[in-house]
Chain A
């Protein structure tokens, strides 16, 4: 997906059997492919950070809530992604204090991260438009 494509952690997986949050009645986890979940992880994390600084557990919660429990990650897979994004200079981290008094590591989006997010959005939008165009155009029958 564009210039910022990167290898995803091996443990990245979709677990349809376990829901981190109670989804809306009638909503069920969908069996998205492992590859799709892996490819979408970076833009999703960057998108969440675009909305404000967050931390690992908070990001997982936001994903589960926004997708109504349909998109689920093995929670541990998030950290290798965050650390890689930090190494690439797309996000930065700092230590803060949670309400409970515990140390908590927060992540915030950097300017290159914003640029990467826009590129990823464009790439996903292109793929989506292409998929739609094939759906709308009947295949040549001759």
Chain B
């Protein structure tokens, strides 16, 4: 048996995900979805079909999620961006970065990596290997791990999104 309210709730949660004011946005979206779907059901449509059409009328989830991110502050945007990149679907990733932006991001990260290696060579060449390794870990691994944890602290959340 298809549960319209449950499906609407899950869809809205997938669009907005966790974040500041997300619950408000989710409740608002759920109300809109159910208004549209209820009207279609009353007109004789099957609830599953009504739900499908109601979501289509709302627009692409990836683009809605992108709009939601734009409403947030830069820290939330950064965290939700990492979340999309680590466990978002392909549509969400495409909505996060256009091909041009993705290319720019790859070039930017490559330049940062080159700069880090250059700095390491300049400042730590004379030091032992452990200091050098620590530098690399501090520059790359720690921030990435911290961001990943903050963005997707719950692995079940990631699985839910992928599922």
| Chain A residues within CB distance 8 Å of chain B | 9-11, 18, 20, 55-57, 74-77, 79-80, 83-84, 98, 100, 102-105
Contact = CB atoms under 8 A, between A and B. Distances in A.
Contacts of A98: 31
Interface string B58-84: 111001101110110000000000000
Contacts of A56: 28, 31-32
By DSSP majority rule, is chain B's interface helix, strand, loop, or mixed?
A: helix
Given A11-B64, A74-B58, 13 more contacts: A10-B67, A11-B63, A18-B57, A57-B31, A57-B36, A74-B57, A74-B59, A75-B36, A79-B28, A83-B71, A98-B31, A102-B30, A102-B31
A80 B60 contact: no
B154 interface: no
Given A11-B60, A57-B36, A76-B64, A103 B31 contact: yes
Contacts of A10: 63, 66-67
Interface residues of B, number: 24
B152 interface: no
A55 B29 CA distance: 11
B27 A11 contact: no
Interface in B90-119: none
A69 B146 CA distance: 49
A132 to B, nearest CB: 35
Residue from the set B30, B56, B59, B70 with the largest chain A CB neighbour count within 10 Å: B59
Nearest to A55: B31
A124 to B, nearest CB: 25
A18 B66 CA distance: 23
B34 interface: yes
A3 to B, nearest CB: 22
A79 B25 contact: yes
B3 interface: no
A11 B31 contact: no
Nearest to A82: B28
Contacts of B59: 11, 74-77
Given A18-B57, A20-B57, A75-B58, A102 B34 contact: yes
Interface string B31-44: 11011101000000
A56 B59 CA distance: 14
15 contacts: A9-B70, A10-B63, A11-B63, A56-B32, A57-B36, A74-B58, A74-B59, A75-B36, A75-B57, A76-B63, A79-B28, A80-B68, A83-B71, A84-B71, A105-B24
